[in-house]
Chains A and B, each alone.
Chain A
């Protein structure tokens, strides 16, 4: 099991934070373009899912997996989106993503008056706390 990378988007589609741990492949485009493609894909995926659903949805999309990775998606009512790419053997980690939001993002970004929530996060403290949080997860490899 392993964790590849994380994206945090605000409701307007700005990528607030990106970090990678064990990423093996580049998408072959600039990082800015990749953020746009990722956000665009999630936006379409959300609309796709809400229209295809046979009954009314509450949470909506939670994850998808391919033959190589699993994309875990968590969205707050304020529109903040957290995307964590992991190995496809990882189970449902909705609670983990919620913890990441409440214990790391709220604590070190929302409660930091000099962090602008419309701009990419530059806080070193947030960076280290998030890294610590992710590395403490059971499905982060020990190597």
Chain B
């Protein structure tokens, strides 16, 4: 019955507050021999599994570390601490056997800002495509792994809560968040409106 994250989006679609709570870690470490039976590709400056799911490694997972050494984007460091391209490193037979850790990529701050903006427009389009009069935007989005509850205030600020799919209503929590925002963000004399809350 977990809450995964809370987002506050300004009326212009900017992300003004975001916090993650106990996100489940999806990570798998395994020893591989040559040749690798996974198809990897570089996507968005990350090395991603493109094909070949096995032992908990799923398509979309990124390479997090090789032999315990964390991977920096698409580059890794070998024993001599020399920067190498991950794909090149993985294609060299002499480097095997090696330990590779795969996992779901975590959202970077930039990605979070982008997703907030994306939700802002999706919210508007959902109300525009409504078959019924006077519709609001998305209030509840359901998927198999999470539920997204959104609440827009009269002033256009959106409070978004991402939870476990088993949770039903988050109305009280959303209202309470609004209260807290009104009391502790807006009443702070050093806070300028529509700017990130610190």
Contacts and interface: CB of A to CB of B under 8 A. Distances in A.
Contact of A25 (B5, B23, B130, B148): B130
B148 A52 contact: yes
Contacts of B118: 44, 48
Interface stretch (A66-74, A95-103, A113-121, A124-132): A66-74
A37 B162 CA distance: 25
Interface of B: 4-5, 23-24, 26, 58, 60, 104, 107, 111, 115, 118-119, 121-122, 125-146, 148, 162
A37 B136 contact: no
A17 to B, nearest CB: 16
Given A41-B122, A48-B115, A59 B130 contact: no
A66 B127 contact: yes
Contacts of B138: 64-66
B145 A57 contact: yes
A80 interface: no
12 contacts: A22-B131, A37-B128, A40-B125, A45-B141, A48-B118, A51-B115, A52-B115, A53-B146, A55-B24, A55-B104, A66-B126, A66-B138
Interface residues of A, number: 39
A107 interface: no
Residue with the highest number of chain B CB atoms closer than 10 Å, among A23, A41, A55, A69: A55
Contact of B129 (A38, A58, A65): A38
B60 A56 contact: yes
Contacts of B144: 57-60, 62
A53 B145 contact: yes
A14 interface: no
What 3 pairs across the A-B complex have the smallest Cβ distances? A4-B131, A68-B135, A67-B136
B143 A53 contact: yes
Given A53-B146, A57-B145, A60-B144, A66 B119 contact: no
